[in-house]
Each structure stands twice: as structure tokens, then as C-alpha cells.
Structure 1
């Protein structure tokens, strides 16, 4: 593996070109994965406008709107990294309401959010229909290695020291979950695109040699 430095302003352009380099007779399900310290939602948001400019319909979805109820997330306490890794995300709901409808022959009807974790209740969001050839942009953490039906995966990686430095003290209990993620999911090797973001001002694309 080697790191190829890339200007921050060029990251979005390269990703848009890759996403758009696909037939327009089917949907594209794209995940931007990374720890909260890497702000994967910011990159996913930045892709929306440029993709629409090249004629792609876009729906934005965040995995944080598909968490399980607090009674399940906190069943063994609020700071259990293994529960955070294994049980916080409502994988079945995310697949059922967002990813499966965008399989070939699917309905194209996507539920943009399911659960408001702050209020701990259903969001009651309305379904939206993604035009054929459109792009679903999903952001979240710990998404890989879960057999999610995705067409392109982008992983934002941080070194352990950078991750620890950029994670707020209140969230330091999650760090063992991300260490486990590196061991078990190996996102740097399994993601389609990997971007090193130890210093967001100087990102680098990680490429196979």
C-alpha cells in the first residue's frame, strides 16, 4: 500500500468521477465510512451538489438515523465498546428501508431516517423516491464487514494516535471499538477507496502497490 497525496479540493472531484463512471440504468449505493473524528458526513455532504451537477439524482442518508432504541443500545451500560460495535446500528432497518429498495428491480423508495436517537423515538419521515441512475450517499461509522449491499465504499482512515487525539474525551470509550474494527473488518483493505485523513488539510489516497 502507498499513500498518494491529494489536494483537499480534488478529493470530491475524483470521487464524483468514480461514482459517475457507471451506467445510468441502475442506482448507485455509496457509503462514506469513518470514525466520527474523520467527519464522514462532511465528505458525503460535499458530494451532493457535484453529483447533481452531472445529472445524478441524490438522496442523503446517515447511519446515525438508523440506530436502535436506547433500551437496546444501553442494555449493558452507556460505555460498552463491544455493544457499540455490534448492536448500536439497526442493520436490518437500514437494509430494509434504504439499501434493498435500490437493488435492480427494486422500488426506488427510500426512507431517509428511521430513528431519532436524541429523542429516542421514530422520526416518522416520509419516503422519497430516487430516480433510476440516482445515487444514495450513506455516511456512518463501522459500516464495513456487515455484508451491507453497497456499490462503492469510501473509508476515511486515521492512525491510532490521530484517532485518539481527535476523539473528544467524552467519546474515548469508543476507541477499542475502532481498534476492533481495524482487526476484524480491515477497512483499509476492503474499502473500494481509502483516504488517509490524519491531517484533513493534507489527505492522501491509499492505493495498492
Structure 2
């Protein structure tokens, strides 16, 4: 299916082209970092699919830690939210590492339902050798995750999270900076 050539689609096609030039073969993992970037990541996935790629979508929000774990040392603060909100070990174990292995290795796109505060019973999925995984959410360019991505897009917003900025310096470590303040006309930041 060919998407209509809107300014947004044309911009996303350029991004997809850049990612595929860097990682033309094998499985590709793209991080879309920022708050409220789900729609941008969904649109990027549509353009990858338009280009003929088997594409999967995940969100870091589906890898939260249980509320009791996050607040065991007291109420959530910006610092504790940054440090303890997400279960990166499970993210790597059930999604990133198995996805990277290719072949018939299964992976899961979600592990925890934050709203219900319970683990998710996910289906194990498999994909072809040249599949694309797009994962969205905040804090994806933190030091312990940076090397997991073939490409990273930082959707800049104001204000940035000061704890994240100080610890991770995401602007310095992203491959592509995008200003999506006008979703119909995203531009390079």
C-alpha cells in the first residue's frame, strides 16, 4: 500500500531511507525516544511497512516495573521515576535479545500492564531475518540501552527531563533529532 505523499510521510520516508542505508540487512531495532511519541513511532512503522519491511511495534510503557517496586522507598520523584520505573532486564530478556537473534527465536512485545499493575501474558512472536522493531518511549537513550539500537530518533520536546538530560545527554547520543511540535510537518531539530 502506498501512503499519500504528505509532508509527514515524505519526512518519514527520508528517515527510513537513512536507517536502511546504515543497516540494510538483518534485523533492525529503532528507538524513538521522547514523551508522547507513540503516534510518531506508529507512523514511522507504517512507512517501514510501505517499504516492504516486516515491522513490529513495542513501547517501553509495556515494560514498567510493578508500582510496589517503584515506590518501596517512598513516593515517586522525578529522580526515582527515571531510575526505577522500567524493567530494562526484562526488556532485554524477552524482546531485544531474542529479536536480535533472528531465526525461530521467539520474542514478546510487552511484559507488564502498568494500568492494571500486573504482568502481561504475552504471545511469543517470531519474524523473518530482515524484520524491523520500532520501540518508543522515554529514557531510551540512557547509558545502559544506547548500544541496543541500530538507529535512534530523539523527538525533542520542551521542557526536557532534567534528570535524564544530566545522566544520559540524549541529544548527544541520538542518531536523528526530530522536532514534531507540528505533527503534520515534522522537521530536523
User: Structure 2 length normalisation: TM-score?
Assistant: 0.86
- After superposition, the Cα gap between the structure-2 partners of 1:105 and 1:67, relative to the gap in structure 1 and judged at 3 Å, is same
The more displaced of 60-69 and 75-84 is: 75-84
1:140 to 137, 143, 166: 137
- CA distance, structure 2, for counterparts of residue 69 and residue 56 of structure 1: 34
In the TM superposition, residue 199 of structure 1 has moved relative to its aligned partner by 4.6
Deviations 1:144-201 (A, max 9, x none): 12322111111011232xx6xxxxxxxxxxxxxx112112211111101111234545
- After superposition, the Cα gap between the structure-2 partners of 1:189 and 1:58, relative to the gap in structure 1 and judged at 3 Å, is same
Instruction: Find the counterpart in structure 1 of residue 152 from structure 2.
Output: 153
Map 1:31-50 → 2, pairs under 5 A: 31-35=31-35, 39-50=36-47
- CA distance, structure 2, for counterparts of residue 180 and residue 138 of structure 1: 22
Deviations 1:51-93 (A, max 9, x none): 1222211111110000011111122344311110001010000
- CA distance, structure 2, for counterparts of residue 193 and residue 134 of structure 1: 21
Q: Any unmatched runs of 5+ in structure 1? A: 1-6, 164-177
Aligned residues: 180
Structure 1 residue ranges (4+ consecutive) displaced by more than 6 angstroms after TM superposition: none
- After superposition, the Cα gap between the structure-2 partners of 1:130 and 1:51, relative to the gap in structure 1 and judged at 3 Å, is same
User: CA contact under 8 A between 2:154 and 2:176: conserved in structure 1?
Assistant: yes
User: Structure 1 length normalisation: TM-score?
Assistant: 0.78
Confirm or deny that 1:13 pairs with 2:13.
Answer: yes
